[in-house]
Structure formats: C-alpha cells, structure tokens
Structure 1
Amino acid sequence: MSKVVLITGASSGLGKSVANYLQEKNYKVYGTSRNPDKVTGVSFEMVQLDVLDDVSIEKAIDTVVKKEGKLDVLINNAGKGIMGALEDTPMEEIKKAFDTNFFGVISVIKKVLPVMRKQKSGLIINITSIAGYSGLPFRGIYSSSKCALEILTESISMEVKKFGINVINVAPGSFATNIASGRYYTPVKDDSAYKETYSLSLKVADEYVDKGLDPQVMATSIHKIIESKNPKIHYKIAAFMERFSIVLKRILPDRVYEKLIMNHYKL
C-alpha cells in the first residue's frame, strides 16, 4: 500500500514542491492550508488546517485517517518568517511567530501521536531551518523558534521510540521560493537606532533567497529520508557554505564567529 503523507503549509514554497514530488512517487499525499480552495497547481488533495486552531487540526487528521485508515508520515512544514530588531518588533508579532513555528507544531504532533501509536509505526518530520543553528542579526525570533523545535524533536524522539515512531528534523537553508513575500518585516523607521544596519541586513537576506537552491533538492531529499529504514535525527539541506558555517561555529572562539557573521551582514 502507498504511504499516506500529511504536509502542513503545502499551499506554496517548499511544502508545495515536496507534496507534488511525493505524489508523483505514488505516495498518497494530503496537503494543508488555511484556505485550501484558493490553492492552485497541485497534484495532491488539500484539506483545511490552521496550526493555531485545535479543532481544525483534529478535523483534518480525522479526515485523512477515515479515508485512508492510517497516517504514515507527518511533515510539519507550516511556518512564519519574521525579521526585525528585537527592540523594534511588536510583541504581538513575536508571539505570532512562536505560535506558528513552535506551539502550532506541538499541537499537530499531539493530535497525530495517538494515531501512530495505535498503528505502531510512523514518521514525523519537523521542518526547521539552518537559521536555527546560529543567532543571526535581526532574525533572532525566527532562529530561536526553529532552534526550540530542533531541541524538542530530540526529546520527543526518545519518548516515542518504543512505539515504532521516528521523529526527525530537516533544516533547510536558502531556497528559491516565495518565502520572503510571506515574511513579517518590522518596518524600517526613520527614528530607529537600527535603521542603517537593519536595512543592510534586509538586502543580504533577500539576496540569499533569490540565489537559493532549487526546491526540487528539498523534495528529493525528503523522499530519500522517508524511504530510509533508519533515519537520522538531524538533516541539513543547504548550500555548502551554509552547512560549513555550523562547523565554524563549533570550532571557532565565540567572538571570532560573531565577527564573521557581523561582517557577512555588513554590521
């Protein structure tokens, strides 16, 4: 029987690319969106799900399980980008980012685990970010929300191992998607103490997205991970320099690494 996959945030970007690819590989794929009726260009079935709404989460999962009798793979891809100086960023936006990137993922996992425990098998893939391995200027909220999910995954992995469930992270680097268009940007205010440095960092960040990897790279990597009999806990799908920066952080003195990052972002 084909594996049944549920992917949150599949209306665009990496989620949509991964979902279309897995459908082509004869998986039974269900993608989610807050507004599935507005989604076009997909080869898979869409269901309504808002990671901030427990009722919609439960309804979506029940719909899939009733139709297919099982749920083999959950890919937690829904996320919210955010950039801005901590001092200038509204607390409301900070909480929204954590609600989507961290607490929303927890809500989905909590609803899926009983299904996977009952069937004594399952794979949960949490999409984090290379940004979760380093504190990046003006991306502290995003980086820390993804870092929190990385660590949480390690804990859950040990808790559910005896039930035949694997929980893993996949940390993508920069990909050529429309992620920048959906990101929250703290406005560049004329009276902000960070106006100049923040403006420069915004340009660097957007250039990285424009020069990012083809989303197909992510799709094929996820497919290989799902087919793996013994998946690792952490995967990094990124350009060489993005992955190498993590190695540098491990071996360089803190202030030396910090200086490298600051030079990169023109601070």
Structure 2
Amino acid sequence: MISKKKIVLITGAESGIGKSTSKIFANNGYRVIGTSLKKINNKIKDIEYYQIDITNNSHWKSLSNSIKKKYGKIDVLVNSAGVRLSGNLETTSMSEWTYHFNTNVTGTFLACKYALPLLKKSKKSSIVNLASINSIRGAKNMLAYATSKSAIISFTASLALDLSNFNIRVNAVAPGAIDTPMLASFKKDLTKKEFEKRMRENHPIGRIGKPAEVASVIYFLASEASTFMTGLTIPVDGGRSIR
C-alpha cells in the first residue's frame, strides 16, 4: 500500500542543515525518514531515524526495502550528509581525498540510486542535493571538499536531464558559511576575532547563516512553488558568490 502522507528521506538528519530540514518538513505535514551514521534515540513526532553508512551499498538496499514495505514511495529525497576536512594539495592524503568523494559523492549517488524506484511511485517527486559555495568559487585549503562538492553540481544537472521524463525534479543548494558542527571545525583554526572578521569580509550580509535559512530554500525546491525549476544549483550564501 502506498502512503497517503508525503514521505521525505533526508540523509544526515541528526544535525546541522539536515536537522533543520527535518523539522521544516515535519512541520509541513511530511513523514520524515532520517539517516544518521550514529544511533539516534530521540523520539520526535513524524521523524524516524535509521542508522546507516551512506557509502554502504547493502545499508541502502536494506533501508529502501524497509521504506517500500512501510510506505511504498518517497516524495522527496534530500542529500544533506557530508564531510569536510581542511587541506591543500601538499597536505591532503589519499585517504582524505577518498573519504570526501566516498561520502559527498558516492553517498549521494547511492541515495539517489536506491530512492529512485520509490520516487517513481510518487506523482510529483523531487531530489535536493547539497553542494557548497566553495564548489562554485573554489576555496583555499579545502581542495578535496570543494572538488567533491563541485561534482555534486554536475551530478545534479545530469541527473535532472535523466529523470525529467519521470516528472522528477533535481536541484541543489550551495550554502555559504552556516552555523553547523561542520563550521565549528573551521572555527577552531582561528581566534574568535579572526573568524568573525573573515565572515564579515566574505559575506556581504555581514554574518554567517543559520541552518533554518538553508532548510527553507531546500523546502522551497521540493515544493509546488518551484515546479518549473530543475537542474539548478541555488546559492544560499549571504552574498558570498558576488563578493
């Protein structure tokens, strides 16, 4: 039986942008299926968590089978899970390079691959991927991260073409600096004064973003308000892309 309620699958739903995205979809009547690398015991109305490694093929196979049996479809897929380590060409190891591509690119590929049969069961479905403003502008000392996120932009555009005949839209958001645990690792390398100065200089709005501000754009891209949009990457960056 196919669920009458709308179903959204969100990777990396336990923190940061993924957590805020889960809340906005739940608040708008969706049943949220969230993935996390760690076990989540919190019981939140309309949100259920599954512990999986998004780079693991068998984990995805098991999860997609569970969703199929329980709900019969997916209306929206949000690929929020990702990793970021600092490093340039000289300091980035092969294992760190592979780590970024396995998580940020292969993880997104597998999510889309296993969600596709369930997305086809929905009359109007949508995929929203997370790129980064660093994948558009480039970024100092973030070679592996920026390159892997650039792959997401190309992946999004190509997948949008492949899935257009199925009435499945595919878009991406490219956040600037957002107040998440991922940004916290970057903040550790700078003094508070240096960090705040750099954020003001990089973002014309003069501050870092909030996870909810990115989540709102993700929800828009998945909603009926954006039905003539596909294959696009939308910056949500406080003006960073025009600086």
TM-score, structure 2 as length reference = 0.84
> 1:239 maps to which residue?
238
Shift of 1:205: 9.2
Aligned to 1:7: 10
| Of 91, 105, 124, the match for 2:94 | 91
Q: Distance in 1 between matches of 2:179 and 2:43?
A: 17
How far off is 1:37 after superposition?
3.0
Report how far residue 154 of structure 1 moved.
0.7
1:57 to 35, 57, 60: 60
Whose helix proportion is higher, 1 or 2?
Answer: 1
Cα distance in 2 for partners of 1:219, 1:166 equals 17
Alignment of 1:48-127 (within 5 A): 48-119=51-122, 121-127=124-130
Partner of 2:38: 35
Question: Are residues 1:216 and 2:212 paired?
Answer: yes
- What is the SS of the residue equivalent to 1:82? coil
C-alpha contact (below 8 Å) 1:6/1:74 kept by paired residues: yes
Are 1:151 and 2:149 counterparts?
no
1:47 and 2:43 matched: no
Shift in Å at residue 199 of structure 1? 7.4
Q: Deviations over 1:128-186 (max 9, x none)?
A: 11111022110111111001110111111111100111111111111111113467x9x
Separation (CA, whole Å) in 2 of partners of 1:157 and 1:31: 23
Q: Deviations over 1:49-81 (max 9, x none)?
A: 211111111212222222112100000111011
Q: 1:135 to 1:220 in 2, by over 3 A?
A: closer
Paired with 1:238 and 1:162, the residues of 2 have a C-alpha distance of 31
Partner SS, residue 110 of structure 2: helix
- Measure the CA separation in 1 of the matches of 2:122 and 2:91: 48
The alignment's TM-score, normalised by the length of structure 1, stands at 0.77
DSSP-derived class of the 1:37 partner:
coil
Q: CA RMSD in A?
A: 2.6
Q: Distance in 1 between matches of 2:222 and 2:242?
A: 25
Q: Relative to structure 1, is the Cα distance of residues 118 and 41 closer, same or farther in structure 2, using a 3 angstrom cutoff?
A: closer
C-alpha distance in structure 2 between counterparts of 1:56 and 1:5, whole Å: 18
Contact 2:75 2:122 in 1 (8 A): no
Aligned to 1:230: 228
Aligned residue pairs total 228
Distance 2:66 2:196 in 1: 39
CA distance in 1, matches of 2:220, 2:170: 15
Distance 1:163 1:84 in 2: 40
Shift in alpha-carbon separation, 1:41–1:13, aligned structure 2, 3 A? farther
Distance 2:124 2:138 in 1: 35
Mapped contact 2:33–2:49 kept (Cα < 8 A): yes
| Percentage of pairs with the same residue | 30
Q: Which runs of 5+ in 1 are unaligned?
A: 186-197, 246-267
Query: Would you say the 8 A contact 1:19–1:31 is kept in 2?
Result: yes
